[in-house]
Chains A and B, each alone.
Chain A
Amino acid sequence: MPETLFDKLWREHEVRRLSDSRSLIYVDRIFLHERTGSVALASLEQGGRRVRQRAHTFCTMDHIVDTLPGRGDDTLMPGGRDFIVTTRSSARAAGIQLFDINDRDQGIVHVISPELGIALPGTTLVCPDSHTCTLGGLGALAWGVGSTEAAHALATSTLRVQRPQNHRVTFQGQLSPGTTAKDMILFTIRELSAAGGAGHALEFSGEAIRELSVEGRLTLCNMATELSAFTALIAPDDKVIRYLEGRPFAPRGSLWQSATAHWQTLVSDPDARFDAETRLSVAGLKPQLSWGTSPEHSMDWDDSVPDPEQAPTGATRDAWRRAQDYMDLRPGSRLGDYPLDAAFMGSCTNSRLSDLRLAADFLAQSGQRVAPGVKALCVPGSGGVKRAAEAEGLHHVFTEAGFEWREPGCSLCFYAGGEGFGPGSRVVSTTNRNFEGRQGPGVRTHLASPLSVVASACAGHLVAAEAV
């Protein structure tokens, strides 16, 4: 029977069938962070259980830690210290590897797990965090779980999982310069809707995927959760193999040989059957910006804000109205008409070295500076990204242009109760969620690519780099 890539990964990890649609699936790697992982470790302890495979379990501090220079256990978020201290002591007691605040490899979980070679093609990886699907970009079967499920995985090295269906999204054509993986995924969500991936494992394929860098693929898969998909996958190729070679937790020597031989088999068979198929052309795709409060509220950057009266259904009309109310936008207006208060470069979507390089190149080449009155932040995704960026002098480019240069972490991707942008502020952001209040009460988030974020920061209003 021909199999999809997902079918193969599922079969290779199936310990046993529980029913027609559910299986006990072996979990190769577990990653925790101080926001939800601490709860998982605590409930494990309360149940009197231990971590079954300690060598396969990792923990980082990314969500709650401050990203200001000189940070420590005390945080701007009220009560943050409690999470940090509890996580540290539970991780130590459990005997798992912790990337603590000032560890050189500390960073956002989905940035460090590929960077350190912890996530590998053909492995299953779970984390109590919805953006775990990022690792599908390497060809890992990775998905987000709740804290109780994470405790189950810690105790048993398995999860009881409902088998999703297969949905292949084929991207035809090639991206134009100035258009990135971020624009591709915003476009995909706009086409398929925020619920368009529900109940499915997506496979992204086609010419435009093969052309993407590994980091671009991670960006693309990162937002599969914004499609409500179980996860997303991209078949690993030579680029992935080259990317992983020599990473600290990647296999070496003869193990590397047997790993890469295995990875070559991880493709969908030519006549494999998919439950759903979508074809999207990205030739001529323009940079995308979100205008509303769901990632599906995205459009070509120079389009006008849609009119709720033209919405396809009554429910959509109401949703658009509420979104435009919250975002303080008029139907028919251009996003460029509204002054910007802040710009955020960072998050597990777009805080890798290639993102920072792209943004810094724009700043260096255009010679522009951040517009007066715009608060601009650049937060590298990990210690590794930060070091590499500084070695190339990117931090000087950012700071000279008026960006703050931060320590690694999730930072203002989400509002934890401490540092925020302030109610009513309009923010252009490389993050993945524009939900009401996501970046702070009343904050109006526009999702964009790194290029559009720096171009907008300098223009003082939303714009794409192509217009500058």
Chain B
Amino acid sequence: MEAFQQHTGVALPLQRDNIDTDAIIPSREMRSVSKSGLAAGLFAPWRYLQADERIPNPDFPLNQSRYEGASILIAGNNFGCGSSREHAVWALMEAGFRVIIAPAFATIFFNNALRNGLLPVTLGPDDCTALLSFGADDPQQCQVTVDLQACSVTAGDRVYAFEIAADARRMLLEGLDEIGLTELDGDRVAAFEQADRRRRPWVYLDQGESS
């Protein structure tokens, strides 16, 4: 996984609540058993007037030159609700996003983001609105800095603090492989199973045979 320490970039506004994973990456844009080839399908229903022909919708911020190179997305409440598809995270990352800022995230999306090095930052709705107005006139000049070490978002002279679970933060900062980390607890898992087989023998299908 890609480590995340600090990032500065252009912030793109997408102020809608309940942006679902079908909108982030529609099912039909997930064409192969692969994590890549998804960037062009990002927000396809809104970004294109004709998704098949890829005719851009000029009103959609992702298509506007003022937001060129945007890598921070500022979204509405409950971002990433809907399907569990991790493709939503992969598509955002492939399109260059490193941070999503929203008042709240859907849990599965949040977890998927953490595990891929895409930083989900939870900030209150008022802070999100303030961040947006900071960049509104000239997003290219008014870039935003997100610092995971300090757990802060900086926009000009305003600094906003955010919270994130300690072990999730460490995982991101160090770019740790979570499976490798858990494998270090292999003995505990085996001990848990040994005790659990006595408590809940009916769970274990391998010993199989009923009596």
Taking Cβ atoms with an 8 Å cutoff, the residues of A that contact B are 12, 15-16, 18-19, 21-22, 24, 26, 28, 35-36, 38-39, 42, 47, 49, 53-56, 77-79, 82-83, 86-87, 120, 122-123, 128-130, 144-149, 151-152, 155-158, 160, 162, 164, 194-195, 198-199, 225, 228, 230, 249, 251-256, 258-259, 262, 294, 296, 315, 318-319, 322, 414-417, 433, 435-438, 441
Contact = CB atoms under 8 A, between A and B. Distances in A.
Contacts of A230: 107
A56 B205 contact: yes
B182 interface: yes
Contacts of B107: 162, 164, 198-199, 228, 230
Contacts of A252: 210
B189 A156 contact: yes
Given A262-B200, A315-B15, A315-B17, 5 more contacts: A15-B192, A47-B179, A54-B206, A225-B81, A319-B17
Interface in B66-109: 76-78, 81-86, 89, 104, 106-108
Contacts of B193: 26, 157
B115 A149 contact: yes
Nearest to A316: B17
Report the interface size class on chain B: 35 or more
Top 3 closest A-B pairs, CB basis?
Answer: A417-B28, A252-B210, A146-B112
B78 A195 contact: yes
A42 B23 contact: no
A24 B27 contact: no
B178 A152 contact: yes
A184 B20 CA distance: 23
B17 A152 contact: no
B83 A130 contact: yes
Interface of B: 15-18, 20, 22-23, 26-28, 30-35, 45, 51, 76-78, 81-86, 89, 104, 106-108, 111-112, 115-116, 165-168, 178-179, 182-183, 185-186, 188-189, 192-193, 196, 199-206, 208, 210-211
A436 B23 contact: yes
B97 to A, nearest CB: 17
Contact of B18 (A54, A225, A258, A294): A294
B106 A228 contact: yes
B76 A315 contact: yes
Contact of A198 (B45, B78, B189): B78
A195 B167 contact: no
B108 A130 contact: yes
Given A86-B33, A123-B203, A146-B108, A435 B210 contact: no
Contacts of A24: 182, 185, 188-189
